[in-house]
Every structure is written in structure tokens, then in C-alpha cells.
A and B are shown apart, each in its own frame.
Chain A
Amino acid sequence: MAEEQIAPIVKELKEALPEADEEELSRELSRYIRFGIVPQEAKKAILRKMGVREPSRTSIGHRSLSELQGNEIGVEVTVRCLSSNQRLQMTQNGERTLCTGLVADETMIRRFVSWEGHALEKDKCYTLKGASVRTFRGELELNLGSYAVVDEAPEGTLSNLDISKLPRYGAIIEVSLKDLRAGQGNVFVKGKVLSAEKRQIETEKGAKRIVDGMLADESKRVRFTSWHDFGFEVGDVISIKGAYVKEWRGIPQLNFDERAEVEKLPEVDFDVMRTPRLAAEELQQSGASDVEVAGTVIEIRDGSGLIFRCPSCNRALAGGSCTVHGPQEGIVDLRAKIIIDDGTGALSAVLNTELTEQVLGMSVKECETKFCDSESRLVDHLVQKLLGRDLVLRGNVMKDEFGPSMLPAKLDDHSTDPLEEAKKMLSAMEVP
């Protein structure tokens, strides 16, 4: 190979590796070329060998998000960042800051993942070069790795982009209300409208009518917010295509806007008279509004009985002192913290004043008089009344890192007839 062909490559190499000896580089390069490796490839190999990362790869050029196939390397796109979240992720090479979120151009919305600390900011526009595309959980995803270059796009880029005209992110999935989980981006659900409250809100684009309410099928009841008045009424059975799921205290909530397709289904009905009863294992997965749980009280927790509350904020006092307002007189109150278990899972529940009074068959006043001398006797009494009792609780079930917990609005003793059930089960067992 002619010297004049090698010389410019050696020069390029020297630029990338200022420390290296030029003659050494030249010798190294010749060795590759002698084996028939083209100079450009030999250069890359040497750089890799010397621990230098090639900053930019051959780009396959600019693409719109809808043109992506799922296996491209070196793609260039121009996008606006719609959402961006950073988190730490343990990888084989130690902890890394991962940035994930959604980006959009005029054609559609896609997810991105940045592995090398490129932090995209919400609402800013970028040109992303050297991105790769892969399929993750059935969705195409832009990956920004070490070869990627992230440049902020000039002012006015994608200024006409109207996100509300784009389809929602992700493939549409049809689920029953029970299977809604926070973070689902594009769901298709059916249900009966149990309540619908229309109200006016102010947005950047002026006044808007939204609807808050409750949707139910046989499996569950779910609160919804419709960011557009589709004109459905209480009692209508509707289908919603293209809703998304947020959560409040671990309870999934359905959201949808003008991009969703809402249809009335006059021929469909759901039996929603009975409050859905869920197994504790299902509530460990996801909270719920207005459900029933039937189980056995297997523990009465500390903090049950007479407690004192801060007069300003209603927090329970600890040692006569509020965590926010300092030492207080305290207002006396009654509660019971219990664990209820149905054999599939367990959840904690806090019985409020009324329910605790109901369980004890005694008012707060009576408790104060009767047990004024001994707090522990009241707790003993509570344990006697509650421990091992089969209960049906009804209310909202929140979920946090301590597991599911319920604030029951209603408490009943378990009233199913075991005799009838036993007969049914026995006769079912006789059938071969």
C-alpha cells in the first residue's frame, strides 16, 4: 500500500492519540493492511485497541419516528422531549444514571432510553444523532448509547407540533378494570358510569369542561377523569379506547382526553349493584376504590385504643407531642389498627372512631370513663372483641411500600352460611 494512502490515516490517528508515537502507529496500521483490512477499518480497530471510542458512526441518515423499523443503528431524528425521568440503575459496570421518557415528532410518539448521561429536558427540542433502535416489550425504543450525540435544536424547531393530534404512545391493550395498572399508556376498557360530575377548569388554552366520576364493571370500580366532555351520562355503558392510567396512593385512576374514542354501548350491561369483592393478593398488586375484603382479623397492632390527636392538624400525638405542632393537650379519639387476612394475602386496616365504637359496642365517652385508669384494659377488651373475628370490610384500599392498607367505611360480620357452602362443595366433589 502506498505511503500516501497511509499517511493521512496516521495523521488522523495521531490526532485522536496525541500521546502515541507516529512511527509506531504507522507500523501498526501496516500490519492490518497487510492482512487485507481496508485503512478505515484498520483505523477503527486501532482506536478501539488503544481504548478510544469512536465518537460518531456512519449515520444512516435522518428518519421520522414513524419510519423506524426496530433494528437501525446510527439514526438521526429531530424530536421534542415530552417527558424525562432520571433514575439510578445497577449494571454490570456499576451504577449508572438512566434517563428515560417520551419524545415526539410530527408523526408519532416514541420512548427513549439514554444510558450515557444524556439528560433530555421536557419540552425542549433536540437532534439526536447516532441513536439505535430496538424493540422492548413489544414497543420500538430509541437508545442513546456511547455513540449518540445529543444537540439542542435551534429555536423554532417543531414549533407546529401539536401533541394532542398524535395517537397515544404504545399499542392499545384491552383490559378489565381489575387489571388496570398505573403507567399503562393506551388502554381499551368498558364499564358502566356510576357517577359523572362535570366541572369547568381553566387551562392555558382557556376554559374547559372536564368530567370526574366512577366507572365500574363486575370486577372493580375505578375513578376516572375525562379531560373532554364526551356527553355520556350516569347509567351509560361506554367503551373507551386510548385511555391512560395514573395512580393516587396506589389506586389506579383512569384518564382520557379528546384523543380517546368513547362510544356508548346500549346493548351491553354490567351488574354493578354489588360492591366488588377482591382477594387480598389482588390488592397487594394494586389498590382500589370502594371494594370489599372478607377475611379474618389475625392481629391487633400497636397504636390501637384511645389515642390523643393534635387539635390543629389531627395527627396522633406521640408522648403528648405532635410532630409538627409540639406538645399539646390533645383531643381523645378511638381507633383500631388491624391486620386482616383472607388466605391469599394480608392487608392492614385502620378502623375509624365510628367503626371502633361499633366493634366495642361503646362510645368514646364511655370508653374514657370505663377505662380511664387503664389504657391496657381497653386494648385487651378490643383484642377480645376483634382478634380472630371474620369480617367483611368495605372502603378504599391504598397501596404504598408497606403494602396495601384500607380505611374501611363499613364493617360487617361475615354472614355467608357455611352449611350451604359445604353442601354445595360436597355435592360438586361427588361428581366424577
Chain B
Amino acid sequence: MARNREVAKRLFAIEYNRSGHEDKATEENAPNYVITPLGDPVNRLYFVGVLMSKVNNGTEESPLYRAEVRDPTGTFYLYVGQYQPQPLSVLPTLEPPTLLGVVGKVRTFTKDDGSFYVSIKPEVLFPVDIPQRDRWIVSTSKFTLERLKALEDAQAMDGPAVGPLMEKGHPRRSAESAVNAMSLYGKQDLMQYREAVKGALGLVIEGGGRPLMEAPPPPKGATPRPPDIKEDVFKLIRECSSEKGALYRDIITRCDQKGIDRIRLEETIQELLDEGTIYEPTIGLIKVI
């Protein structure tokens, strides 16, 4: 029996980026899977987001683009080289910010110290409009909620197993995910994922499904600007830095302690990267220039 084509999983960046495990193929030609915190085994995924930046870290002849695509919950990191012909032909023609659909394969990187990072090897990129983004958010929310609910039930169980979860009305897919997640990640705080789904659905409602051009005008009057955290973040990075630089996850931990919002942290780091005060020698590592 031939293996079915790998499904393109729908999941938000927040779930994908917090993955800490993978299921590496032992057989030849068998697929690799990233196991997300909600237990979903992912080999291929489809997501929609805003292309925030693209940088060619290679040469003109053999380009290697690093691109960031932002969904309502976080950022997907894409690497596009000569083995991704379609994305490589499309990406140079796109100017950020652009709403983009991405179908891609998982890419993982484990550092010597055991820290684990995920990114994306895109297979195809295509332009997307707001209604399609909204459909993606709705269906991705459905799948995420399925997994969440199963995992919430599994957490409340003594020795969670697929059978009893299915009896509770969960589809086999999410029951298996939940059991998977429990054994790999133990008890986790699931509130962040619930909030992420709410935020994403909120975007659909605020955006009202209108095309990008007709986005609602900014509200009149001065909007209170959140206090600038750039200095704080910069200081934090220096504090976390060793000779090689600062680990991204260390920075996140420190910021969590200080109560700095993760999304704002990511934005600030991006800002610092754009300014050139810091750079990212390898994924997951930040270094002050």
C-alpha cells in the first residue's frame, strides 16, 4: 500500500514555533515530523501571513533567502534556496508587506547544546487576499481548537489514552495528538494557545473580511503609544550574551520574567535587526554588533 501524500497541516505560528520534538524517520524515504506542543505531527503545512522581510544571505548566483511571514500569532521563518524553485522565482518579485500563502515542509535545527529550532522550507508561495486569509484563520482555528480541547480533556485524565478521548467525542486525529502531547511535553499552560486563537478570530472580525485596500482608517485622535522597550530589550540581550551571542529562548525567558509581551519582543528584536544594532548569525542566536 502506497503511503498517502502528506497532508498540509493548518496551524498557527505560535504552536509551530514552540515545538520541541521531532519524529525522525528511521526508514529510507520515510517522512520526518515535527511534533507540536499540542501533539500534532507535522511534515507539511499551509499558512497565510504577511511577508515582513526577505534577505538574501547567499550570493547572486546561489541565493539563500531568509524570509519572515507573520500570522496573527507569531512569525514563520522561511529559508529559500536553489532547491525551492517555485518560491525562489516568486520571492524576489514580492515587496513586503504582502499577504502570502505558503505551503512548505518542516525544517529543524538542533544546536550542540540541544536547543531545538523549527523553520520552513517552502514548496510554493502564492499571493492571497483578505477573504482567503480569513478562511485560513477560521479553518486553522478549528483544527487548533480540536487539538486544544482534546488536550485539555487529556490533562484532566488519569493516564490519558486515545480510546477514552474518542468516547468523549474527540476525533481520532486530535485524541492521538493529545496523547502524544502529554507524553512528550507533560502538563503545559494551554491558555496561551486559547488566547492566540481568540486573537486570530478577532482579526477576522475586526478586518471584516474587507480587501486590504479598504482597511478601516486609523481611529481619530492620538493613540497612546506603548512605552518604548527597545532600550530594555537591548540591555537584556547584552545581559544574556556569551561570547557567541544570546540564545533567543534565553531572551524570551528573561522578557517573560520582566513581563514584556512576546509579540512586542519579537517586533522589537526585528526593529533592532533592521537597524543593524544586532544580528542573527544562526537561527535562534542573537548577537550584538
Q: Is B142 an interface residue (CB 8 A)?
A: yes
The answer to the question of B137 belonging to the interface, with a C-beta cut-off of 8 Å to chain A, is yes
A64→B173 CA distance, assembly (Å): 45
B124 CB–A CB distance under 8 Å = yes
B73 within 8 A of partner (CB): no
Known: A414-B135, A425-B145. A296 touches B46 (CB 8 A): yes
Binary interface encoding of chain A residues 88-102 relative to chain B, with 1 for a CB under 8 A from any of its CBs, else 0: 000000000000000
For residue B142, which residue of chain A has the nearest CB? A425
**Chain B residues with CB below 8 A from A388, complex form:** 101, 124, 126-128, 132
Check A341 against B8 for contact (C-beta < 8 Å): yes
Please report the C-alpha to C-alpha distance between residue A421 and residue B197 in the assembled complex, in whole angstroms: 13
The answer to whether A324 has its CB under 8 Å from any CB of chain B is no
A298-B46, A298-B103 are known contacts. Are A346 and B204 too (CB-CB below 8 A)? no
Cβ of B4 < 8 Å from any Cβ of A?
Answer: yes
* Residues on A with beta carbons closer than 8 Å to the beta carbon of B205: 419, 422-423, 426
Contact B197 A429 (CB under 8 A): yes
Q: Which of A281, A402, A419 contacts B134 (CB 8 A)?
A: A419
How close is B141's CB to chain A, nearest CB, in angstroms?
A: 6
Given contacts A341-B46, A390-B132, contact A418 B101 (CB under 8 A): no
- CB neighbours (8 Å) of A346 from chain B are 4-8
Q: Do the beta carbons of A343 and B103 come within 8 Å of each other?
A: no
Q: Are B198 and A341 interface neighbours, CB within 8 A?
A: no
Q: How far is the CA of A365 from the CA of B4 in the complex (A)?
A: 37
Contact of A403 among B5, B128, B131, B135 (CB under 8 A): B5
The distance in angstroms between the C-alpha atoms of A343 and B198, with both chains bound, is: 20
**Contact present for B101 and A422 (CB under 8 Å):** no
- List chain A residues, Cβ under 8 A from B126: 387-388
Q: Which of A377-398 contact B (CB under 8 A)?
A: 387-388, 390
List A contacts of B135 (CB < 8 A): 390, 414, 416, 418
In the complex, which residue of chain B has the Cβ closest to the Cβ of A419? B209
Does residue A351 face the partner (Cβ distance < 8 Å to B)? Answer: no
CB of A29, distance to nearest CB on chain B (Å): 53
- Central interface residue in A298, A388, A426, by most chain B CB within 10 Å: A388
Question: How distant is the Cα of A403 from the Cα of B140 in the complex, in angstroms?
Answer: 24
CB < 8 Å neighbour of B2 from A402, A419, A422: A402
Q: Is residue A339 contacting chain B, with contact meaning CB distance below 8 A?
A: yes
How close is B158's CB to chain A, nearest CB, in angstroms?
23
A286 interface contact, C-beta 8 A: no
Task: Give the contacts of A398-432 with B (CB-CB under 8 A).
Answer: 401-403, 414, 416-419, 421-423, 425-426, 429
Taking the closest CB of chain A, its distance from the CB of B94, in whole angstroms, is: 14
Q: Is A160 an interface residue (CB 8 A)?
A: no
**Nearest CB in chain B: distance from A163 CB, A:** 32
Report chain B residues within 8 Å CB of A429.
Answer: 145, 194, 197-198, 201
The one of B1, B7, B10, B209 in contact with A345, judged by C-beta atoms closer than 8 angstroms, is B7
Pairwise interchain contact B7-A344, C-beta atoms closer than 8 A: yes
4 additional contacts (CB under 8 A) given A343-B140, A388-B126, A429-B198: A341-B7, A343-B10, A401-B2, A403-B4
Contact sample, A vs B, 27 pairs, CB 8 Å cutoff = A296-B8, A299-B103, A299-B123, A339-B5, A341-B46, A343-B10, A345-B4, A345-B5, A348-B5, A387-B126, A388-B124, A388-B127, A388-B132, A403-B4, A418-B131, A418-B134, A418-B135, A418-B209, A419-B208, A419-B209, A422-B134, A422-B201, A422-B204, A425-B138, A425-B201, A426-B205, A429-B198
Residues of A with Cβ closer than 8 Å to B? 280-281, 284, 296, 298-299, 339, 341, 343-346, 348, 387-388, 390, 401-403, 414, 416-419, 421-423, 425-426, 429
Q: Which 8 A-B pairs have the closest CB atoms?
A: A388-B126, A418-B134, A422-B204, A343-B10, A388-B101, A422-B201, A298-B103, A341-B8
